[in-house]
Amino acid sequence: MATSTLSKDAFGTAEVLKQLGIGTQNYGASTGLKHYQTKGPKIDSFSPVNGQLIGSVNTATAEDYEATLKTAEAAFKIWRDVPAPKRGEIVRQMGDQFRKFKDPLGKLVSFEMGKSLQEGLGEVQEMIDICDFAVGLSRQLYGLTMHSERPQHRMYEQYHPLGIVGIISAFNFPVAVWSWNAALAWVCGDVCVWKPSSKTPLCAIACQNIIVDVLKKNDVPEGVSCVLIGNPVGDLMNNDKRVPMVSFTGSTRIGRIVSSSVAQRFGKTILELGGNNAIIVSEHADLNMVLVGSVFGAVGTAGQRCTSTRRLIIHESIYDKTLNVLKSAYSQLKIGNPLDSNNHVGPLIDKKAVDDYLTAIVRAKEEGGKIVVDGGVVTGEGYESCCYVKPCIIEAKNEFHIVQEETFAPILYVMKYKTVEEAIAMQNGVPQGLSSSIFTGNMREMEMFLSASGSDCGIANVNIGTSGAEIGGAFGGEKETGGGRESGSDAWKAYMRRQTNTINYGTKLPLAQGINFNI
């Protein structure tokens, strides 16, 4: 694998932060126009790109949380009565603001998280796209009408906003996942309280700063868009009956805690948890397409996507050929500053992620795995953050304990199969169920993979990789991935409560099921 560096000042840190209204010291509580001078423990945000301190944030305290929730409660009582198309118009204006600030926000996402500049800009584009989607949705919050069994009665269903939606997002998509939830929740009439990852707090502050003018221009009630930074906020939110819905993106381990806490108070959750995604490579596959889909899926965002490709299940007849193609491709990967478009692989988020990566490789070897492309930490000039690692390929068995787990790093496990039925069983033979893919030119195999007895994942693709998704479709998975859905399709229904209504426009009161009750 090749390495590539970029001058330390290429990012233009000071100018980008200035455009986004971020200083060296920031506060971790906002209800829209108001930013509170919080006094919680300080978080220093270091870029994994070069180890540079970008800025610091004083986190929110329990008192800040309480003040924010009271403001959000009051805002909901006003916001829910704003006509949905009007709410959509406000979200449209937010989308325009994200268009205006796409370049600086994309750079900040890249620099604070460590993903490539192209991916950072792409993440902001997802925010723009979901705002566009939400605008149309604001005129399509449809219910159903039903024929009543009683004469001169009409039945129908309608949807009402839930109230306060808590959004707990992860570092790997520091802005997009918030927007997937917030844009839909807002047009549904909900207000949002966002707890971003403490690893990428400045991106959240930037988003709030970007939409401030829209909130002010439209006299949006203070509290419709809130941000609270700091890990204790999550526990407070999960146990707060005033928050009927919590959307959590993160690990399966923490997801269990969130799910249990919210369920104890009969709240609702959207859970987007771990992925252990596989690509099946059929003997009928186009290997040129396989190469692009599997390499980007495995090394894009340094393997830190929930949809990253973790396993490659290859037909035995083309196994050696496929590995040779992969090894050749991996030897040409360039590792370095993600702001340099010549590089393919940026850094992991922090040194703990590097330790997890190294531990996974050791564990795979101990279980009998064979190294196909060796990994390791990249050192030297341009890699001072110590967060750059080499993408690794390991020949393994699906039943290895380490293969059954999700490691957020560029490690690809390869294994062989004989029949498509065996391959599908291997694909399904992990606790997670987010994304899956098959590369094949055989229609029978395609249809088997997409049938009820095929992939058990929330996302199943044919001749494209596991990584990446369009906002038009509902995003989420099954099993230990959580079962939640965000973004497009009818995911909006999760942010609303359904109500069945019956209207009697006659002069008599017949009872259902023909019951007689004479008094």
- Is 306 a known active-site residue? yes
Q: What is the 3-state secondary structure (H, E, C) of 330-356?
A: HHCCEEECCCCCCCCECCCCCHHHHHH
**Which letter does DSSP use for residue 97 in this model?**
H
CB 316 within 8 A of CB 415: no
Strand boundaries in 399-509, DSSP class E: 411-417, 432-433, 435-439, 459-462, 474-475, 478-479, 486-487, 496-504
Query: What is the tally of helices (H) and strands (E) in the chain?
Result: 15, 26
Coil, helix or strand at residue 271: strand
Radius of gyration of the chain (CA): 25
**C-alpha dihedral (297, 299, 305, 308), degrees to nearest 10:** 30
Backbone dihedral angles phi then psi of residue 43, each to the nearest 5 degrees: -110, 125
Coil, helix or strand at residue 298: helix
Count Cβ atoms below 10 Å from residue 472 Cβ, excluding itself. Answer: 12
**CA angle, corner 472, sides to 469 and 478, nearest 5?**
55
Backbone dihedral angles phi then psi of residue 411, each to the nearest 5 degrees: -115, 125
What is the rounded distance in angstroms from the CA atom of residue 200 to the CA atom of residue 395? 34
Q: Which two tokens stand for residue 496?
A: 């609303």
Q: What is the 3-state secondary structure (H, E, C) of 145-170?
A: EEECCCCCEEEEEEEEECCEEEEECC
Q: Which two tokens stand for residue 17?
A: 């932060």
Catalytic residue among 112, 119, 126, 272: 272
What is the rounded distance in angstroms from the CA atom of residue 491 to the CA atom of residue 188? 11
What is the rounded distance in angstroms from the CA atom of residue 330 to the CA atom of residue 335? 11
What is the rounded distance in angstroms from the CA atom of residue 74 to the CA atom of residue 223? 8
- Is 226 a known active-site residue? no
β 164-168/191-195 pair status: parallel
CB 416 within 8 A of CB 319: yes
- Enumerate the H helices of 269-389 as residue ranges: 287-299, 319-331, 351-366
Catalytic residue among 306, 387, 392, 457: 306
Residues acting as catalytic residues: 272, 306
